[in-house]
Structure 1
Amino acid sequence: MNMKVLVFYDMHGSLSALRSIRSVVKKKDPDLIICGGDITIFEDGLIELVDRIARLKKPVLMIPGNHESDEEMEAVCSLYDNVHYIHKSFHRIKNHVFLGWGGGGFAQVDSEFERFVKSNIKKKFKKGDKLILVTHGPPFKTKLDDLYGDHVGNTSYTKFIKKHKPKFAFSGHIHETSGRSDKMGSTKLHNPGPKGRIFSL
């Protein structure tokens, strides 16, 4: 059974983006909201912004961007029953398994991510499940990490996608590629941008 999901990235405190997300929720009535990080500019207004997202009264999955610290983001998310902090973890909703991995800048390799996947993927992901990758930074050498002709994404994410073939891989971080989509094998790659897009997972 498919799930209707609203995904957004890199809001950076924008009230117009927040209004857009609220409007999409009202019109499309998604089953789930995913925030892929950088909801703020260096954590300014973090509590208020997470509160506004929580008050949309939908389940929310959230990871930090490079503008939020792991500890602060987790603490704020823990204040809300409907906001689930999925950074460095797997989160299951029926047969949908979300792997969340936030933070980061422009590092091309994430050894911690690779070790985490190797240790946990077989325990968390079973045959028949739908795997969805939610990272803040994009995979390497795609339309999503092409910054003026240079590829600035992460090779660890690319290796993961090629090996484990998630249904979707969502990412952001590179504002210049906001709204772009791509494909890697059977995996659909998307940078949904700050105003939110609906996907059927």
Structure 2
Amino acid sequence: MRIVGITDLHGKYHHLKKILLYDPDVLVISGDITHFGRDLKVIDYLRYLQEKEGIKILAVPGNCDTLEVIDKINKIGINLDGRYVNVGGIYYVGIGGSNRTPFNTPNEYSEEELYFKFINTVKNIGEEIKDRFILITHAPPFNTMADRTLEGNVGSVSIRKIIEEYSPILVACGHIHESRCIDKLGNTYIVNPSPRSFFVSDIYIKDKIIVKGIELVDF
């Protein structure tokens, strides 16, 4: 299964044609699809990718996405926030929005709210999910390469706690534009492609789920 991941589009989409060259089975979007609800045509393009190009799209809203954006991605069936799906034997779990910021953006949560959003999402799966899922989240985990700013690390302690307790095979995140990276926490790969690039990863199931490399590709 080939996964391509993008984040922080902020309403821009013309450059996304490049991802088609990589023939993805699944496209994951780690939030901030729009810039405070403007440039909604990006959602029409995502619908095109899903319906005409046959790409399975799984997205979460970011802290800059409004209720109108959330409603629209619900209508085209790509919103994974607070939900999970099983695609080809791999669970995908979505946690949208971000931890609190100084900017009072539309879609922020306390750390407790983020953590229990995850717990409530996976409670019906049980232990089966451990080491067997991909987490799509806007907020990066705290104190990693994915959440560094000039002022320090500003990621979510709850997302880090989820990684430490549940060991997803991969975390696709965004939010911090300057922290483009591939990192690792325990056995979990963490990827923040930033708005400048997308990631490509081939994942397959043998006795266990194996990530066969991750590559960052500039737009």
Q: Same fold by TM (over 0.5)?
A: yes
Q: Residues 33-72 of structure 1: matches in 2 within 5 Å? A: 33-46=27-40, 48-56=41-49, 57=53, 58-69=55-66, 71-72=67-68
Q: Which has the higher contact order (CA 8 A, sep 6+)?
A: 1
The aligned counterpart of 1:192 is 193
Check conservation: 1:109, 1:155, Cα contact below 8 A.
no
Long gaps (5+) in structure 1? none
Q: 3-state DSSP class of the match of 1:77?
A: helix
Query: CA offset at residue 99 of structure 1?
Result: 1.3
Query: CA offset at residue 65 of structure 1?
Result: 0.7
Check conservation: 1:138, 1:153, Cα contact below 8 A.
yes
Normalising by structure 1, report the TM-score.
0.85
Check conservation: 1:10, 1:38, Cα contact below 8 A.
yes
Query: CA offset at residue 19 of structure 1?
Result: 3.4
Match for 2:168 among 148, 166, 169?
A: 166
Check conservation: 2:9, 2:33, Cα contact below 8 A.
yes
Bigger strand fraction: 2
Normalising by structure 2, report the TM-score.
0.78
Q: 3-state DSSP class of the match of 2:11?
A: coil
Match for 2:25 among 20, 31, 38?
A: 31
Q: Residues 131-150 of structure 1: matches in 2 within 5 Å? A: 131-148=133-150, 150=152
Note closer, same or farther for the CA distance 1:120–1:68 as it changes in structure 2 (3 Å cut).
closer
CA-atom RMSD in angstroms: 2.1
Query: CA offset at residue 94 of structure 1?
Result: 3.1
Long gaps (5+) in structure 2? 102-108, 204-219
The aligned counterpart of 1:12 is 10
Q: 3-state DSSP class of the match of 1:163?
A: helix
Query: CA offset at residue 109 of structure 1?
Result: 5.4
**Which amino acid in structure 2 is aligned with residue 53 of structure 1?**
L
Cα distance in 1 for residues equivalent to 2:124 and 2:75: 28
Query: CA offset at residue 143 of structure 1?
Result: 0.6
Note closer, same or farther for the CA distance 1:128–1:163 as it changes in structure 2 (3 Å cut).
closer
Number of matched residues? Answer: 190
Check conservation: 1:138, 1:157, Cα contact below 8 A.
yes
Cα distance in 2 for residues equivalent to 1:117 and 1:13: 27
